Structure 1
Amino acid sequence: MLRKNKQFPEPPGEYIVGLNEMSFTDPARQGLFDFAPDEFREVPILIFYPSDDAQNREPSLYSFKEEAESFKKASKGIVSANNRFMPIPAYRDLPISENQERYPVVFFNHGYSGHMMQNVVLCCDLASRGYIVVSVGHPYEAGAIRYPDGRIVMADEAIGNEFKHTMARNQPTFKTMKKRSYSDEEIRPAAANFFENFKSTKVWNHIRIWADDNMFIADMLEKLNEQSSGSPFAGKLDLELGFGITGHSYGGCTASQVCLDDARFACGVNIDAPTYGDYWDRDLQKPFMILGSELMDLLARPNFLANSNDAYLIIVESTQHMDFTDMIFYAPQLKLLKLLGKRDKTLLRDVLSSYHLAFFERYLRRKENADMDNLKFEGVRVRSKKAMNPSRNHPPLFHET
């Protein structure tokens, strides 16, 4: 049985959160992996969206057996598989709210070996404030995927092991980097030296697979939005705004790459991801926020510095990588493995959700009065870079708090 203190917080917004699941097969991508040469890429999504009434339905559950067992195994039994029975603040197949004619769309991407609901609190928080949030699954590299028809696809062990070996091989270089501080002029060559060790590996190259998953789903959402689609979301997606995108860890790398590659994505967020991928020191030319642990100041700062548009680098002190996921609510014992830091879970949720909401209000909904500079949290360092007039090639202005 779950202890009573293991529960997810209620969303802060005015909407009840609905939940829908779909999957789409991409006829243009076949045989992405050697072990499945004839298989077309099938991408699942979870859609969190604004609704008005839970209609006396039971809330959805957090996970499923195979997925929960995979995380129990990965944690060597420290994380209980019973967490799959935790209710989430979302209800399946509710009618979408008619309060607004259309709603802005934000993509979410899980981390490597993560799962589609790993940031369900963030997804529900955004949906409760009037966003349609599309969580994209990445088969064979998520811990487990369950398609709407019940089929299960587990993570491929060989690919996962190759990723782990690549990371382990480069840990000494990273530990050396952490022993010193770098000026803005010094950080790019230092990061370039570190990333050079990854460029021929799957860690670097599979970002392209994940980015293509997102761009394909964007194509499918455009079709769903057509009135002739018969979808409950027909006409409800505000595509004129473009898409927003966010993601944790490898999903944060994905969000960055998608912003570089696809003009439909108007702005994005990297949650605690080293910048693996060819975007790492490129000018995204779009509003972009990097938010995470002090790791970001080493391995994501070049991406912040290169951006000629509005950019944010937000460091949450005394945090670890998994502090930016739902694990803060159900697996506090991971502090023993130093996968979670010392910060209060309520504060961490407030930081993650508040900055996401303010960012997307400002740069996706384009509300001029949505001011991220007004957000203040203890132990959170903010650097922002505002492009005063990019069309005239004016240098951006830096602001630090």
Structure 2
Amino acid sequence: MRSTSASCSPSLHASWRYRTGLVLALCLVAATGCGKDDVDPQPPSYFQPDTAALDVLPGVYPNAIDLTGAGSLDVAVLGDETLAAEELLAEEATLSAPEGKAKVRALAAGTARDVDGDGRLDAILSFSVPELKAAGVLTPQTAQVVFGARTRGGATVSARDSLHDVHHPVLRFPPPTGPHAVGTLEDAWTDEAREETLTPASGDKRELKVRFWYPARARPQAQPASYFLTWREGELVAWTQGLPPSFYSFFFAGAVRGVPLADGEERFPVLLFSHGYGMATALYSGVAEELASQGYVVVAISHPRGGGPLVFPDGRVVDELVQLTPLDPALNTRVQAQWAADARFVLDRLTALDSSDPAGRFTGRLDLGRIGAFGHSFGGSAAAELCRTDARVHAGLNLDGTFHGNLEVQVQVPFLVMNSEGAEGDLSRDLFFQHLGATGYDLDLQGAGHLTFSDLVLALPLIRFDSPQATASEYQLGTLDGQRSFTLVNTYVRAFFDKHVRARPTPLLDGPSAEHPEVELVVHLP
């Protein structure tokens, strides 16, 4: 039933700066390891930091335009604490392509209005569609546009938003099924108590990025956030995976950035998440949004040098990747311990946020007596290590990951392992259940591939737009329909945490389900 080939398993300090193709970049096939071709181009270099937020085609989502038409294109520059609509110099406003130098000036400024429902006026500007097409800003390949302007005080305003031809395929996520709207935000934290052991420089401290998905106050006027909250990061991740840099610009999820937590005084249980080796937290937005809609605060940890490239708030790019391999279990164990330590640090920071969040969002709203941990592949094994080493965690879940470390040291909390068809022969999973000191759930998802447990399970039509001959098997997406896979994974992840974090009755986990014939479930009692 098991195979080590299903692990995103990991010599140190190798750079991401080569095109590998998606599967090899993720080191999913232990027999072949990480591939490297002869091409070594530099990553895209046309990025600039955003100083404002832009909403192209206010009220329309996703932002699609028929390039056969004429007329004008409206954009809204969203007002905030640092930018008032009346301060923007409309006569200097321009739109350009991210990689282009041609800039098109605004035709006119419209009447300022509150576009996103936050109570602030937003500047409205119109641009000529024929001029944008003539300048190469709008093409059939367009994924984003970049806005530039100045304020009356001389400050530079820059922002970007997605925009694509109406005929270009996109990935629009199924809406979450829970009663809550979903908010999202990201932050960067430094653990001053820990040295960074994966860099050659001495004295470096361990830096992390974290992304939150949380139950939010509904703001239906607001445009959902971009899939990667940092545009540059999404382009770099796609580039390292051998995909077009704009690939993730065509992913449209539903969470709104920075909105307040849901009204009331309810404390929400917390779920920590660790990505797969070589992956990025954004690539699990689907399951995170579903859980947040059901009343969980999901905190996804980006583990530097273990995932895709990261862009920190100051613009620094961390794109090195420690090269893990099944032939070096000591290194695997060392990196896993570091990821578990990352999670413990994040729990400490969450405790401080619950006590006093400078932004006021999470103060008194995190139920730190109800905590779960989960992850994909290497991140799933790291979740087990966290359960083994931190009594604050009450349940754990591994999405198709080989286990690393000393498996004879018991995990004492309920644990679910979800397996792809490629997991057959992975003895680490059998050994894990032999030593599990609590209820265990061994779930086989028939027709699943290793990346079925990420958002990429929905992306094959978009992949085929650029690579028409692409198959599900070469991208490890399995043979089960992507939408069905997405629903099943979300359903069982939620059921497990509802039962073992919220203590809610969940008959779905009692055994086989006639409604889900693709699932084979074995329950191990302690």
TM (normalized to structure 1)? Answer: 0.81
- Cα pair distance change 1:307/1:345, threshold 3 Å: same
More displaced, 99-108 or 250-259?
99-108
Letter in 2 for 1:361: D
Q: Give the whole-Å Cα distance in 2 for the aligned partners of 1:338 and 1:230.
A: 41
Shift of residue 100, structure 1, vs aligned partner = 5.2
- Judge conservation of contact 1:361–1:370 (CA < 8 Å) in 2: no
Structure 2 residue 173 is the aligned partner of structure 1 residue 46: no
Secondary structure of the residue aligned to 1:372 is helix
Determine the structure 2 residue equivalent to 1:267. Answer: 395
Render the CA deviation track for 1:292-324: whole Å, top value 9, x for unaligned: 213445231211232121110101122211111
Q: Give the whole-Å Cα distance in 2 for the aligned partners of 1:94 and 1:383.
A: 41
Structure 2 residue 296 is the aligned partner of structure 1 residue 131: yes
Render the CA deviation track for 1:116-148: whole Å, top value 9, x for unaligned: 11110000000001100001111122212233x
Structure 1: stretches of 5+ with no match in the other structure: 168-196, 388-401
- Judge conservation of contact 1:140–1:153 (CA < 8 Å) in 2: no
Letter in 2 for 1:231: G
Q: Give the whole-Å Cα distance in 1 for the aligned partners of 2:442 and 2:410.
A: 15
Q: Give the whole-Å Cα distance in 2 for the aligned partners of 1:370 and 1:239.
A: 26
Structure 2 residue 517 is the aligned partner of structure 1 residue 378: yes
More displaced, 2-11 or 341-350?
2-11
What pairs with 1:167-182 in structure 2 (closer than 5 Å)? 167=326
- Judge conservation of contact 1:66–1:144 (CA < 8 Å) in 2: no
Q: Give the whole-Å Cα distance in 2 for the aligned partners of 1:334 and 1:359.
A: 32
Q: Give the whole-Å Cα distance in 2 for the aligned partners of 1:334 and 1:30.
A: 43
Secondary structure of the residue aligned to 2:184 is strand
Determine the structure 1 residue equivalent to 2:342. Answer: 213
Structure 2 residue 176 is the aligned partner of structure 1 residue 23: no
Structure 2 residue 489 is the aligned partner of structure 1 residue 352: yes
Shift of residue 331, structure 1, vs aligned partner = 3.5
Secondary structure of the residue aligned to 1:276 is coil
Shift of residue 5, structure 1, vs aligned partner = 4.9
- Judge conservation of contact 2:495–2:506 (CA < 8 Å) in 1: no
Q: Give the whole-Å Cα distance in 2 for the aligned partners of 1:60 and 1:34.
A: 32
- Cα pair distance change 1:370/1:146, threshold 3 Å: farther
Q: Give the whole-Å Cα distance in 1 for the aligned partners of 2:202 and 2:422.
A: 37
TM (normalized to structure 2)? Answer: 0.62
Shift of residue 253, structure 1, vs aligned partner = 1.1
Shift of residue 85, structure 1, vs aligned partner = 4.3
Q: Which has the higher strand share?
A: 2
Secondary structure of the residue aligned to 1:18 is strand
Determine the structure 2 residue equivalent to 1:108. Answer: 273
Decide which structure has the larger Cα Rg and report it: 2
Shift of residue 203, structure 1, vs aligned partner = 2.4
Q: Give the whole-Å Cα distance in 2 for the aligned partners of 1:338 and 1:228.
A: 41
Letter in 2 for 1:138: H
Q: Give the whole-Å Cα distance in 2 for the aligned partners of 1:72 and 1:44.
A: 18
Shift of residue 255, structure 1, vs aligned partner = 0.5
Percent of paired sites with the same residue: 26
Structure 2 residue 492 is the aligned partner of structure 1 residue 335: no
Shift of residue 277, structure 1, vs aligned partner = 2.2
Shift of residue 31, structure 1, vs aligned partner = 3.4
Residue of structure 1 aligned with 2:318, choices 138, 144, 154 = 154
Render the CA deviation track for 1:311-360: whole Å, top value 9, x for unaligned: 10101122211111000122454525252211111211121111111111
Shift of residue 72, structure 1, vs aligned partner = 3.6
Q: Give the whole-Å Cα distance in 2 for the aligned partners of 1:109 and 1:364.
A: 18
Determine the structure 2 residue equivalent to 1:68. Answer: 234
Q: Give the whole-Å Cα distance in 2 for the aligned partners of 1:205 and 1:295.
A: 25
Q: Which has the higher helix share?
A: 1
Determine the structure 2 residue equivalent to 1:301. Answer: 430
- Judge conservation of contact 1:282–1:303 (CA < 8 Å) in 2: no
Shift of residue 65, structure 1, vs aligned partner = 4.6
Shift of residue 59, structure 1, vs aligned partner = 0.7
> What CA RMSD, in Å, does the superposition of the two structures yield over aligned residues?
2.2
Structure 2 residue 378 is the aligned partner of structure 1 residue 250: yes
- Deviation beyond 3 Å, 4+ runs, structure 1: 1-5, 64-77, 227-231, 294-297, 331-334, 368-371
Q: Give the whole-Å Cα distance in 1 for the aligned partners of 2:315 and 2:261.
A: 27
Q: Give the whole-Å Cα distance in 2 for the aligned partners of 1:334 and 1:137.
A: 29
Letter in 2 for 1:324: F
Q: Give the whole-Å Cα distance in 1 for the aligned partners of 2:399 and 2:458.
A: 18
What pairs with 1:113-124 in structure 2 (closer than 5 Å)? 113-124=278-289
Structure 2 residue 500 is the aligned partner of structure 1 residue 363: yes
Shift of residue 36, structure 1, vs aligned partner = 3.1
Q: Give the whole-Å Cα distance in 2 for the aligned partners of 1:84 and 1:203.
A: 33
Shift of residue 211, structure 1, vs aligned partner = 0.7
Q: Give the whole-Å Cα distance in 2 for the aligned partners of 1:228 and 1:117.
A: 24
